[in-house]
Structure 1
Amino acid sequence: MDISAHHSISINEQYFGQEQAPILVVDNFVKDPEALVADAKKCQYVKNSPFYPGPRAPAPLAYQELILRTLKEKMVDFFQVPTPNLKFSICHYSVITTPPDQLKLLQRIPHFDSLNENGLAAVHYLFKEDLGGTSFYRHKKTGFESINEARHITYLRSLEAENDGPNIPKISDGYINGNTPLFERISQQQAVFNRIIIYRRNSLHSGSIPADLFDNTSQSKIRLTISSFIDCE
C-alpha cells in the first residue's frame, strides 16, 4: 500500500483555552485515505486498553514514517519539544464500540494521556459521517486545562472529593460531549475526513461522541480513527 502525502496538504497552527495550548490541524493529510480505510477493514482488532472504549489494531509502519517525514519539523518547532528525535509509542486503527451505558466512570469524563508536557497525541479522522471530533476541557474546580506533575495530586484529590458529590457523572450521562457541572468545554475540533489533529497529551480532552452513534450498526456508522502517541527519544 502506497502511503504518501496529499498534494494539497494544509497545516494550520491554532491555540485554545486560557492556557493557550497549541494544536496542529492538518487537512488533506494522506493522498489516498480510502486505502487506509480499506486496510483497516482487514485488520484483527483487540481491546488492549482499559480506558479506550473500543478495539484497536496496529496501523502501518509506513504511516508513522509519513507523519515524521511530513510533519516532524513543524511539530518540533510548534510544540517546542527539546529534541528532533521523535518516535511513536502507539499508532493504532481505533474504533469506538462501547455503548454509553457500559462506560466506566473515567470514560465519562475528560482524560489526559500523559503528565509529560513534551508527549504528543495525534488523531486522524477516517470517517465521513458526523460521528464527532475531539473536545478539550477545563476542570471547573481547579481551573486546570492540562495536567502535569505539579498539578497531578491536586487534580486527583479534587476528583476524589467530587466523587461524593451530586455532580458526579451518572451512567445515564454516557459520553461527555459539552459542558457539565464539573467540566467546561473550551475548544472543539470537528472531525473532517482525512484531517489529523496533533496536540499535547496532557491536555484534558475527550472524543465528542454523539448520542446516536450506537443507534445504527451499519458499516457507514463506524467511527474509525488512527490514534497515535509521539514521544521524544
Structure 2
Amino acid sequence: MPLAIESIGAEAQPLCILDDFAPDPEALRDFAAAARVGEARNHYPGVRAELPGDYLATQLPPIAAAVAKSFGRRGPVEVIDASFSIVCTPAEALSVPQRLPHVDAFTPDRIALVHYLSPGHDGTAFFRHRSTGFETVDEARRDLYFRQLDTEMRYTGPPAPGYVAGDTPLFECIRVAEARFNRALLYRSSNLHSGAIAPGAALSGDPREGRLTVTAFLSVGA
C-alpha cells in the first residue's frame, strides 16, 4: 500500500498516510451496515459498532511496519480499543468537550488510527492552542494546558454549539488531513485534533450514508 510520512505544524509530529489500506473495503462497509450500533464512549460524538474478527489480524502487520517507519517505535503493538465509528450527533446537541479539539492519550507509546470508509466525507483536523502554543499535550504539559484552558473558558464562556471548523478564538487549525476512501491515518494520540466536520455536513448514523470510519487506539512499545 502507498505510504507517505508528512508532518504536523511547528512541532513536526509525524502524520502517516496509508492509501489502499484494506484489501476489501467494500466488505467492511457491508459488515458495518449489518452490525448492531451502540452509543459511543469517551465523548465520541456518534455511534460505534464491533469490527469483524479478522480486521485487526489482517491490518496489524502493516500498521506495525508503518508505526516503525513513521514513529520509530518497533515494539509490540497492543490494541487498546478499535471499532467502527460514525459521527452523527447533531451540532446543537454536542457537549462542551465535543466542541473543542482534544487529545486521546498523553504518553509517547500511544498511536491513533483513523481508517476512512465513506467516500466524500470529512477528514481530520489538527490544532495549536493559541495561548500556550501547544500542538501536543503530553504528561509534562497536561496540568498547564488544562489549567489554562479552564481559565479561558471561565472568562470567555464555552464555544457555541457546533463542530470545530477551522480557526477559533482559542485554537489555530494547523493541518487538515483529507479523507479518501480506504485511506488510513496514523498519528500520536497526544496531538490536539478533531474530526474536520464541515457546517451542514450530513450526520447520518447509517453506515451507508454517514461518515463511517474505523478508529483504533494503540500502544506500541519502543
Give the TM-score normalised by the residue count of structure 2. 0.94
Partner of 1:31: 23
Count matched residues.
221
Deviation (angstroms), 1:217 = 8.1
Partner of 2:178: 190
For structure 1, which runs of at least 5 residues remain unmatched after alignment? Answer: 1-8
Q: 1:188 to 1:211 in 2, by over 3 A?
A: same
Partner of 1:64: 56
Selected match of 1:141 from 125, 131, 135 = 131
Q: Counterparts of 1:169 and 1:176 in 2: how far apart (Å)? A: 9
Selected match of 2:187 from 183, 199, 218 = 199
Deviation (angstroms), 1:102 = 0.4
Q: Counterparts of 2:167 and 2:197 in 1: how far apart (Å)? A: 13
Selected match of 2:166 from 167, 178, 186 = 178
Partner of 1:43: 35
**What residue identity is the alignment partner of 2:86?**
V
Deviation (angstroms), 1:37 = 0.2
Selected match of 1:117 from 94, 108, 128 = 108
Q: Quick check: 2:46–2:205 contact (8 Å CA) kept in 1?
A: no
Deviation (angstroms), 1:215 = 7.3
CA RMSD of aligned residues (A): 1.7
Q: Counterparts of 2:27 and 2:60 in 1: how far apart (Å)? A: 19
Q: Counterparts of 2:58 and 2:77 in 1: how far apart (Å)? A: 13
**What residue identity is the alignment partner of 1:205?**
H
Q: Counterparts of 2:203 and 2:34 in 1: how far apart (Å)? A: 24
Partner of 2:156: 166
SS at structure 2 position matched to 1:178: coil
Q: 1:182 to 1:13 in 2, by over 3 A?
A: same
Q: 1:208 to 1:157 in 2, by over 3 A?
A: same
Post-superposition Cα deviations, 1:22-60, rounded to whole Å, max 9, x if no partner, equal 011001111221100000011111114140011111212
Q: Quick check: 2:126–2:176 contact (8 Å CA) kept in 1?
A: yes
Runs of 4+ in 1 over 6 A off after TM superposition: 215-219
Q: 1:231 to 1:219 in 2, by over 3 A?
A: closer
Partner of 2:68: 76
Give the TM-score normalised by the residue count of structure 1. 0.89
Q: Counterparts of 1:204 and 1:45 in 2: how far apart (Å)? A: 27
Post-superposition Cα deviations, 1:150-202, rounded to whole Å, max 9, x if no partner, equal 1000001111111122364112xx00010011000111101100000000000
Q: 1:113 to 1:18 in 2, by over 3 A?
A: same
Q: Counterparts of 2:165 and 2:124 in 1: how far apart (Å)? A: 9
SS at structure 2 position matched to 1:65: helix
Q: 1:102 to 1:79 in 2, by over 3 A?
A: same
Q: Work out the percentage of aligned pairs sharing the same amino acid.
A: 34
Q: Counterparts of 1:169 and 1:98 in 2: how far apart (Å)? A: 16
Deviation (angstroms), 1:16 = 1.4
